[in-house]
A and B are shown apart, each in its own frame.
Chain A
Amino acid sequence: EDKVVQSPLSLVVHEGDTVTLNCSYEVTNFRSLLWYKQEKKAPTFLFMLTSSGIEKKSGRLSSILDKKELFSILNITATQTGDSAVYLCAPGGSNYKLTFGKGTLLTVNP
């Protein structure tokens, strides 16, 4: 059975702080890992990582995958209130299925 564990489950920070969100996984025939952001609506895509050690960056967000240790991290620097959301980690296997973690609820206070 595929497993995805995200930590912490929730996090409260102040604007300007840097946060690190964690995701560990066990997925049959792992192919890639996706990060999504969910505000009070549908999840929206952030990153897809397929190779270890490759850091993906998009502005203040970055992510790294470690395929040997089976984990990924999502970093957000200089957080803003608009970053408040649930962040979902979703590793994918060869059957095209994405298995989602329970998410990390990030709250950024002004």
Chain B
Amino acid sequence: EAQVTQNPRYLITVTGKKLTVTCSQNMNHEYMSWYRQDPGLGLRQIYYSMNVEVTDKGDVPEGYKVSRKEKRNFPLILESPSPNQTSLYFCASSWRRSGPSGANVLTFGAGSRLTVL
């Protein structure tokens, strides 16, 4: 089954304790992205990756790191989590297409609900 898999789905942690949220897709997609979703703010992009070893900041990158060493994996790293990073996180992936319909249909993972105390 074509899917984006995130882990963990739920996590409660404490301020300053490094954590990694893994993301893996089995669709051979070039493009991968992380979003966070907060009440009243909607989905906001954290980081994205056009392909292996190519990553760039989204709209809210502060406090996060990413890496793209393999095409299928795009982990999100919180080096020193803080309470304002309590949120619902989504990983998503898509093809990269050229031409007039260049924007893409993102496939989302099930989400990871993170609480930082």
Contact = CB atoms under 8 A, between A and B. Distances in A.
Interface of A: 31-32, 34, 41-45, 48, 50, 88, 91-94, 96-103
B7 to A, nearest CB: 14
Contact of A96 (B35, B94, B107): B94
Interface size of B as a range:
20 to 34
Given A42-B109, A45-B105, A96-B94, A102 B42 contact: yes
Contacts, number: 65
B105 A31 contact: no
Report whether over half of chain A's contact residues are helix, strand or loop; otherwise say mixed. loop
B40 A92 contact: no
B40 A93 contact: no
B22 to A, nearest CB: 16
